[in-house]
Amino acid sequence: MGREARRAERKSRKRRLHWLEKKRRTSERINKVIAELEESFDEGELEDAKAFFVDYFTWSGPFSQFGESIDNESMERIRKDYGLDLFDADFIIDITEEIFSEESKDDTSEPP
């Protein structure tokens, strides 16, 4: 990846994380996911975990290349893009799906 591409990726990541912080203030479900990430990841890993969550949640970044499901080989490539272990990627996906599925049963009035 060239210097210009790395710079563009850093700027894009910064915008996605800024979007996440704005959404966190207005969505209880997103706030719950981020709180779980903050408890589970150390400071050095947290930004990568949040970026992974944003892209998974919005189906953007590397996730946008796939349909409704991702095979194991593709997930392996995606999680490496974020510097995450496979367990960490699975953990983020699991807590996201858990929080959004239980919350949608309890409160269908809040948009995602």
Whole-prediction pTM = 0.84
pLDDT at 103 over 60: no
CB-CB neighbours of 77 under 10 Å: 11
Angle at 14 between CA 48 and CA 16, to 5 degrees: 80
d(CA 77, CA 61): 12
**What is the enclosing helix (H) or strand (E) of 100?**
helix 86-106
CA-based radius of gyration for the chain? 14
Confidence of residue 8 (pLDDT cuts 50, 70, 90): confident
Percent of the chain exceeding pLDDT 90 equals 65
- pLDDT, one tens digit per residue, over 16-62 is 999 999 999 999 999 999 999 999 999 989 999 999 999 999 998 88
Break the chain into its structural domains and give their ranges.
3-106
